[in-house]
Amino acid sequence: MQQETLLFIMTIIMSFIFEFTNGFHDAANVVSTVIATKVLRPLAAIIMASCLNFLGATQISHVVTTLTQGVIPYQITTQSIIMAALFGAIVWNILTWYLALPSSSSYALIGGLIGAGIEGLGIVFVLWESITKKVIIPMIFSPLIGFLLSFLIMKIFMGLISKKIDSGSFHIFGKLQMLSAAFVAISHGFNDAQKTMAIITLALFSKGSITTLAVPLWVIVSCALVMALGTASGGYRIIQTVAFKISKLQPVQGFVAESTSSCMICLAAFLGFPLSTTQLIVGSIGGVGASSSFKNICFKTSKKIIYAWIITIPGSMIMAVLFYKVLKWISF
């Protein structure tokens, strides 16, 4: 019993560590465009994002259902599986942060669950149909849709306000971008914080502390707070990549990229798709950059980001499998 309790406590601690890394890793997604266009200074942007991430994180979406019931069967999920999944996601977040690559914390966690589920339960118990519909298909198409929508909307804006663009009159879009940046921060909390809430709820259910998969209030508040603290820590390495190494942005472009991304993130949260905020923001930035010329996109950086996306799920799966083996070796 003492060993089980210790493993549960370690799982909760690991959950909060993951949520913190999710905050500082994904802070770039929330604030990168508004920093790139110089509408807000980095510190002001991060403070705003932290507060609004907290607000968004207190709202429950259908992403919780997908993570608790759509990856591996919650009825037979163990503490060891959950802890191994978290380890895989945390290691991946830290590695990609060190390399300044804006990969997806969401897909790192899902990859960790898949890997730990395969090792702990067997490959036949992984819910592949649900993963394909709710994770893989949205993962492939969401950045493409974000790119195309931002590209088309930016083309429309360029046609409507070409004279203003030529004269450099962007004050109104600077103000509008502050609103769109706030919308991104809220939607990021609304989508991303739900994953850690789901993991802690799974751990509570596995231990027998709760009898349903309803998220307790203390889990909602604590996850929202930890994500906000993580966002407040900055994540400047990835901010530099997203803000300045994909495409040069002006306020009107930042407004379009942020508005497109946040609308898609909120829609996905209602549908239960644990989309990557990273992929949507980066795809949208690429779209607005390409709207004037494809030469505005740094393809060298874009290739690195795409490679990171491709290997995120298998990479975190491998980390989770290895850690699960370690847990079994030390008899957890």
Give per-residue pLDDT as tens, 72-116.
998 988 899 999 999 999 999 888 888 877 778 889 999 999 999
- The pLDDT of residue 295 is 72
Q: Extract the runs of DSSP E, i.e. beta strands, from the chain.
A: none
B/e letters for 148-176, b = 16+ CB within 10 Å, e = fewer, are bbbbebbbebbeebeeebeeeebeebbeb
Task: Identify the residue with better confidence: 316 or 227.
Answer: 316
Task: Identify the residue with better confidence: 43 or 148.
Answer: 148
Dihedrals phi, psi of 247, to nearest 5 degrees = -160, 145
What are the tens digits of pLDDT across the range 206-229? Answer: 888 898 888 899 999 998 899 888
Residue 292: Cβ-neighbour burial (10 angstroms; 0-12, 13-18, 19+):
middle
Q: Is the pLDDT of residue 325 over 80?
A: yes
Distances (CA, A) of 226 to 13, 14, 26, 117, 197: 11, 12, 13, 26, 11
- The pLDDT of residue 267 is 86
Residues 6+ apart with CB under 8 A from 245: 298, 301
B/e letters for 41-69, b = 16+ CB within 10 Å, e = fewer, are ebeebbebbbbbbbebbbbbbbbbebbbb
pLDDT band with cut points at 50, 70 and 90 for residue 21: confident
- The pLDDT of residue 229 is 87
Over residues 246-255, the mean pLDDT reads 77
Q: Is the pLDDT of residue 309 over 70?
A: yes
| pTM for the full predicted model | 0.84
Name the nearest CA neighbour of 312 among 163, 109, 172, 148: 109
Over residues 58-74, the mean pLDDT reads 85
β-bridge mates for residue 297, sequence order: 247
Provide the 3-class DSSP secondary structure of residue 247: strand
Task: Identify the residue with better confidence: 31 or 8.
Answer: 8
